[in-house]
Structure 1
């Protein structure tokens, strides 16, 4: 009997897998249910571990290791898998450190002082004394118009002024003589050596000459005003720079007719040249009205020219134009440039970054 038992044990050891299957089939209903639950729990834990290692964003699930071989099945079935932490009730807010960009936009370099200089009168252009790129100071002569007739008018006005001045001198001499006659006639009339008619006539001569003197002085004032007007008209034939700057365009040549107003024929120039004050350059950008709340007056800005993308230009917000463009839904922003450089030119494209205070 013992030999048969030993033989059965040896067979169970050599065929472990088959014996295990037979042993499983020999389990009772409760033991089979426990084994099925153990296998299911192990499958779930393995799947969760595989998914956790395959995705970086998803939280990794962990299963506790069994403390002993005999109790591994029950531990895996009864201990829960660690769950990810519940999200916070408040949404996360992005914090922009000071000095970092809060908004980007693009625009152009513009000049606050730019003028197309024209003559105040219509005339023939005789000289143009500037070229593109020249730097001019305020009052510099830019061009000259034919002033022959204006010069004659000035000479005539000055001659009339001299005549008016001479007439005043003549009247003053006559008035002095008339006053002496009146004084002598008055003395004779007191002594009854002169008639009342002679006295009246002498007084009338004095009064008449006084009135003539007033008229002569007024005529001299008119002549002086005429001289100033003629000189002003002559000066209008010389075109000068209204402010200091750089000539960017030359629009007329000697021999052309120029006029302050546009002519219908198309042969008359209205502008002689264009001057830009390089010290008044600034940046204009259009900001979407949905983001205008990120911009404030005085805010620091970093500008980058399209022509020099590696050059950061310090700037600041000068003003936010208090009106929006209905069609484009944008608000214009003026940005002052904190440095002057010859590389910054009008109408250049520029990109700006508004910085957090």
Structure 2
């Protein structure tokens, strides 16, 4: 056996050295991939829609430039009434509804009054009875007067005694008293008739002045009582107001009352009619201060009237330095100055149309308070970017940011 241990030796092959060219190639591939990633990210960021916020093109009134003070209040009718009945009874008829126009003295509602009308008929019959009694008393008076005349003639001839003459005189006096009593009875019956008619009239509810029915508080069949003396009874059947006496009652801070005076021109805007501006004038000042609010109430009369103005509407009042001209009463298109890009008279607004940015050239006008008047190819209500930046581009993608 060959015991040559050298044959058991493991031959180790030396590792092949990596070529330098391969190492440089891998490095350039990594750099290229990094450049592609960065370029893709940059391209994605460049084409990502710009997030913006919007504001509206609004309208502004030139009166804002000469407004001394603003106040809020409510439209109130200076002549109004809650109409009730003087009598207690069940409502039999109601002839109006909300919005009905009525004239002074017009019948609005009526309570059940058949028994009271019967009393009127009975009182009228009592007058006829009293008149019949008067006729009877007058006939008796005539007969007693003739008997008295005959008795005087007979007494002068001593055909009757003094006692008989006294009886004739007493009969004449009684007849006269009976006539007087009958005449008084007619007066009493007539007064009773008037009282019965008044009782009937108390069941008829009439309009105290020309006006419009505001609310209906009772229905046919309801019990109506003065002062609502019963828990189930209605006091006022309807409420009404004279709409020709509408005024705005506005509260002015106690510290600002020196800025307002009676006769001062005003402009009234109603919350229910935001596009309507009505001329007004300070009619009066309430001579007391509301201690809880530290305000003084001023009443503003409408110089211009509108059928759409209703009681209890909330209103804003602008107290003006002077009367407005007809030109100053026309609203102008305006926007928040921050929405305008560019300096000088020429400016730019940005809009979003189909998700793309659009440049809109406009011209600046006068400043009205916090707004800038503009003119150009936009209209009131259009949405524009509220705070445009320099990186906005025509045609670029844009989305509205959530507030």
TM-score, normalised on structure 2?
A: 0.63
Aligned to 2:170: 204
Corresponding residue for residue 156 of structure 2: 190
Residue aligned with 1:150, SS: helix
CA RMSD, 1 decimal:
1.6
Distance in 2 (alpha carbons) for counterparts of 1:198 and 1:182: 10
Question: Which of 251, 275, 279 in structure 1 is aligned with 2:240?
Answer: 275
- Which residue of 2 is the match for residue 307 of structure 1? 272
In the alignment, structure 1 residue 328 sits paired with structure 2 residue 279 = no
Partner of residue 91 from structure 2, selected from 122, 125, 128: 125
Q: CA deviation at 1:340?
A: 2.2
* Structure 2 equivalent of residue 88 of structure 1: none
Query: Aligned partners of 1:325, 1:275: CA distance in 2, in Å?
Result: 27
Aligned to 2:226, the other structure's residue is in SS state: coil
- Counterpart in 1 of 2:182? 216
1:296-351 per-residue CA deviation (whole Å, 9 max, x = no partner) reads 11111111111122221111111111111112111111111112211101000100
Offset at 1:215?
Answer: 1.6
Matches within 5 A, 1:236-275: 236-264=202-230, 266-275=231-240
Q: Give 1:11-26 correspondences, 5 Å limit.
A: none
Partners of 2:106 and 2:174 lie apart in 1 by: 52
Distance 2:290 2:95 in 1: 42
Q: State the TM-score, normalizing by the size of structure 1.
A: 0.70
Give the corresponding residue for 2:199. 233
Q: Give 1:263 shift.
A: 3.0
Equivalent-residue separation in structure 2 for 1:352 and 1:278 (angstroms): 19
1:272 Cα offset (Å):
1.1
Per-residue CA deviation, residues 6-41 of structure 1 (Å, 9 max, x unaligned), is xxxxxxxxxxxxxxxxxxxxxxxxxxxxxxxxxxxx
- Residue 309 of structure 1 aligns to a residue whose secondary structure is strand
Distance in 2 between residues matched to 1:203 and 1:229, nearest whole Å: 39
- Structure 1 equivalent of residue 110 of structure 2: 144
State the shift of 1:171 in Å.
0.7
1:189 CA drift (Å):
0.6
CA–CA separation in structure 1 for the residues paired with 2:163 and 2:305: 87
Question: Which stretch of the first structure deviates more once superposed, 291-300 or 135-144?
Answer: 135-144
Distance 2:112 2:180 in 1: 39
* Structure 1 gap ranges (5+): 1-96
The match for 1:176 among 123, 133, 142 is 142
- Aligned 8 A contact 2:72 2:317 in 1: yes
5 Å-filtered alignment, 1:41-52, equals none
Q: Which of the residues 252, 256, 260 maps onto 1:295?
A: 260
Say which of 163, 172, 177 aligns to 2:129. 163
Question: Secondary structure of 1:194's partner?
Answer: coil
Which residue number in structure 2 is paired with residue 342 of structure 1?
Answer: 307
Q: Matched residues in 1 for 2:88 and 2:167: separation?
A: 56
More helix by share: 1
| C-alpha distance in structure 1 between counterparts of 2:264 and 2:172, whole Å | 80
Larger Cα Rg: Structure 1 or Structure 2? Answer: 1
Q: Which residue of the partner structure matches residue 76 of structure 1?
A: none
3-state SS of paired residue (1:269): coil
Greater relative CO, 1 or 2 (CA 8 Å, sep 6+): 2
- Alignment partner of 1:113 is 2:88: no
* Contact map agreement 2:278 2:305 (CA 8 A) in 1: no
